Amino acid sequence: MSQEHAGSLTAAELLDLYGIASADLDRIRKLGERIVPKLEQYIGRFYDWLEKQPEYHELFSDPEVLHRVRSAQIVYWTEFFRSPVDEAYVAKRRRVGELHARVGLSLPTYFAAMNLCLDMYSEGIEGDAETATALSRMLHMDTAIVVETFSRLISQTIAEQSRSLVAMSTPVTAIWREILLLPIVGVIDSQRAQDITGSMLQRIADTSARVIILDIGGVAVVDTAVANHLIKITKATRLMGCECTISGISPAISQTIVELGIDVGSVQTTATLKDALERAFRRVGVQISGD
């Protein structure tokens, strides 16, 4: 079952998935009659354990934060043992997952914490297999809801960071009216070539640029794949009515292209960025004076 699917399940579907019947919920409520009045003691034992974990002092160095979290846990477990498992209940569990993702509590610590709670709340019911099973299933369902939300938010954060890195690695800059510049540093693979093309075409459309300079002086390796990516990029810009010049063609890169037998066709190239800029200015009708 995918995370996306798990995250869309209703309360009834979750109960069915984990095999939790109304009789199981009744057993949880009955158990809660004994547990809830002693929650302060159970939470105290929980924090005695948590204080020994590496993350404790990083997360709870502020006494006010610790007090607020402990109070929230009292509410959490009170709802666990007393509240109906409906859409509101599931929504609250998903908010707990969001909270764990934001504060940075690791999943191994969270799993260990829930396992400790299962052990504590199971005390005294070893002879009641049905209640023990109901408790285990409810805890597993709660854990799954929290972890699914946690994982989804972490994935979203990573995706957003990746998009930010892509944007930073493809800084298409307007250096003059109708002239754009994109310096590339590092490795060009298929995904990055696609990102570069998308960024360039969007900026061309936004600025109505007539010339774009693609400076590859900082590209680590130029092989057949990279050269083909560059050729495709220049063809795409040409379809937008924009001339693309590739600068930074060093003697080593030039020799590699020749040795590989790569046909650069009608691609405009220059050895230096200075030469590319001079060509671009002439293309847009700007006269450059001086040495």
Task: Please give the CATH architecture assigned to the domain spanning 173-283.
Answer: 2-Layer Sandwich (3.30)
Q: What is the pLDDT of residue 166?
A: 54
**Which two structure tokens, joined as six digits, stand for 199?**
């960024």
Same fold, 3-162 and 173-283: no
The answer on pLDDT for 120 being more than 50 is yes
223 compared with 73, residue with greater pLDDT: 73
| pLDDT tens by residue, 30-59 | 999 999 999 999 999 999 999 998 888 877
Least-confidence region, from 112-126, 130-144, 167-181, 230-244: 167-181
Q: The sheet that has 211-219: what strands, in order across it? A: 173-176, 179-186, 211-219, 243-247, 268-269
Class of domain 3-162: mainly alpha
Query: 7: how many CB neighbours lie within 10 A of its CB?
Result: 14
Band (170; pLDDT cuts 50, 70, 90): low
What separation in angstroms does the CA of 283 have from each of 146, 166, 204, 268?
59, 30, 16, 12
Band (104; pLDDT cuts 50, 70, 90): low
| pLDDT tens by residue, 257-282 | 777 777 777 788 898 999 999 999 98
Alpha-carbon distance of 187 to 161, in angstroms, equals 19
The answer on pLDDT for 14 being more than 90 is yes
Domain spans in the chain, listed from the N-terminal domain onward: 3-162, 173-283
Band (21; pLDDT cuts 50, 70, 90): very high
Q: CB-side exposure of 48: number of CA atoms within 13 Å? A: 9
The answer on pLDDT for 244 being more than 50 is yes
Is the pTM value of this prediction over 0.75? no
**Which two structure tokens, joined as six digits, stand for 113?**
């914490």
Q: What is the pLDDT of residue 164?
A: 52
Of 25-29, 54-58, 247-251, where does the model show the most confidence?
25-29
The answer on pLDDT for 168 being more than 70 is no
**Which two structure tokens, joined as six digits, stand for 278?**
């001079």
Quote the Cα angle for 112-113-114, to 5°: 95
| Average pLDDT of every residue of the chain | 85
Alpha-carbon distance of 82 to 36, in angstroms, equals 9
Q: What is the pLDDT of residue 2?
A: 42
| pLDDT tens by residue, 193-238 | 888 888 889 999 999 999 999 998 888 777 778 888 888 888 899 9
Percent of the chain topping pLDDT 70: 89
Under 8 Å between Cβ of 191 and 200: no
**Which residues, in sequence order, are CB contacts of 112 under 8 Å at separation 6+?**
53
Region 160-169 average pLDDT: 55
